């Protein structure tokens, strides 16, 4: 049964706003409603078609009135935040991720007209550690419930979604576990991290990183809204890059440091309102995370257009990121360092 009246949360964000505009220009929908505490960007408002914006807080029980009065049959929950790009209040984000999801799902459960739920989740639910498996599938164990941070929020949120599925088996539920998003217009932790002139890393670690272009993330949410795609799906681009490869490709200077120092560096960057390194984000930069997307391609029916490398290159070009130092100069400096090191070793003998 096709969707008719759609409600999208988190339209004040980049991904939710673009989805609102995309759905608002689809004539197959009778009505498209976007809700958030802040309005969409002006560029979205100018091209959102017949979609409408309603200023509403999903943490408020009144969200149930919005869903029932508008006779919503499809809800797209795109307001969850896995890793805020810049410094932000942890309590406020947790309330949106956890309390907001609880309120929204309670409203869906009470409305007999709701028949589809699309949820934007994150691959951070798998965690990142020295014991992590090389490639995560949708059936992999999630991080322990006693962990902390934004990843824990996502694990709790998914638990509430599974509870709704048990109570309302008539609702088609699609859960998209996005890997790290990247793109010219996306403001993420990694986007800010690779834009730093000097990029701090940890001695002895070179994480394998998988990315997803924001355009592919948008397409997945749109397809799940337009068609019934029940299930849990890892969503990531083909291919991986190591952290050192990405730093060199962006023309940044790598600054390896002891593992215990990185949290202190993170506090400095957070205090300067540059980038927010949460504990689980630091673990990602140490150990990396790669997901299997077989189910996305075979069952969901979507193959990302951008590979990890292509998505990263588009981010570099779109942001206008230029090398900190000329490649030839860097090579010359590296050669001098190697020569000096060899001379020192010879003298020591």
Does 167 fall in a domain?
Answer: yes
Please answer whether residues 210 and 290 qualify as being in contact, where contact means their C-beta atoms are separated by less than 8 angstroms.
yes
Determine the straight-line distance between the first and last CA of the chain, rounded to whole angstroms.
79
Does 343 fall in a domain?
Answer: no
User: What's the pLDDT band for 341 if we cut at 50, 70, 90?
Assistant: very low
pLDDT at 246: 96
Closest to 296 measured CA to CA, from 209, 238, 239: 238
Does 216 fall in a domain?
Answer: yes
Does 290 fall in a domain?
Answer: yes
102 pLDDT exceeds 80? yes
DSSP state letter for 126:
G
Does 298 fall in a domain?
Answer: yes
For residues 326 and 70, what is the distance between their CA atoms, to the nearest angstrom? 57
Pick the more confident residue, 259 or 290. Answer: 290
18 pLDDT exceeds 80? yes
Concatenated DSSP letters for 79-123? ---SS-SS---HHHHHIIIIIIHHHHHHHHHH-TT--EEEEEEEG
CATH number of the domain encompassing residue 170: 3.40.50.720
- Which two three-digit tokens encode residue 276? 């927010």
- Domain membership of residue 119 as a residue range: 5-319
> Could you tell me the pTM of the whole model?
0.88
66's enclosing H/E stretch is helix 63-69
Does 170 fall in a domain?
Answer: yes
Residue 39 CB neighbour total at 10 angstroms: 15
Does 333 fall in a domain?
Answer: no
Does 335 fall in a domain?
Answer: no
Domain count, the chain: 1
Closest to 306 measured CA to CA, from 181, 176, 190: 181
pLDDT tens-digit series, residues 176-220:
999 999 999 988 888 888 988 888 888 889 999 999 999 999 999
């Amino acid at each position: 049964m096709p969707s008719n009246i759609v409600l999208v949360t988190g339209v004040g964000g980049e991904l939710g706003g673009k989805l609102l505009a995309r759905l608002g220009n689809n004539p197959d929908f009778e009505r498209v409603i976007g809700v958030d505490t802040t309005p969409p960007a002006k560029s979205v408002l100018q091209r959102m078609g017949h979609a409408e914006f309603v200023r509403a807080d999903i943490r408020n029980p009144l969200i149930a009135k919005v869903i029932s009065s508008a006779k919503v049959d499809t809800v797209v929950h795109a307001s969850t935040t896995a890793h805020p790009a810049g410094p932000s209040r942890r309590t406020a984000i947790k309330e949106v991720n956890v309390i907001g999801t609880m309120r929204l799902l309670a409203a869906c459960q009470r409305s007999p007209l709701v028949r589809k739920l699309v949820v934007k989740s994150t691959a951070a639910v798998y965690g990142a550690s020295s014991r992590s498996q090389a490639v995560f599938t949708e059936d992999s164990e999630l991080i322990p419930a006693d962990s902390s941070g934004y990843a824990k929020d996502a694990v709790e949120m998914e638990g509430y979604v599974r509870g709704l599925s048990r109570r309302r088996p008539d609702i088609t539920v699609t859960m998209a576990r996005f890997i790290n998003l990247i793109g010219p217009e996306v403001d993420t932790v990694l986007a800010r991290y690779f834009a730093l002139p000097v990029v701090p890393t940890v001695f002895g670690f070179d994480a394998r990183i998988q990315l997803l272009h924001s355009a592919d993330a948008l397409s997945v949410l749109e397809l799940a809204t337009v068609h019934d795609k029940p299930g849990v799906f890892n969503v990531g681009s083909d291919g991986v890059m190591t952290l050192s490869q990405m730093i060199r490709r962006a023309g940044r200077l790598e600054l390896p440091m002891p593992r215990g120092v990185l949290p202190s560096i993170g506090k400095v960057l957070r205090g300067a309102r540059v980038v927010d390194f949460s504990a689980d984000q630091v673990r990602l930069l140490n150990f990396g995370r790669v997901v299997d997307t077989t189910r996305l391609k075979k069952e969901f029916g979507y193959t990302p257009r951008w590979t990890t490398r292509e998505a990263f290159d588009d981010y570099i070009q779109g942001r206008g990121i230029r090398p900190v130092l000329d490649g030839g100069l860097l090579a010359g400096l590296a050669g001098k360092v190697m020569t000096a090191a060899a001379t020192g070793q010879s003298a020591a003998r």
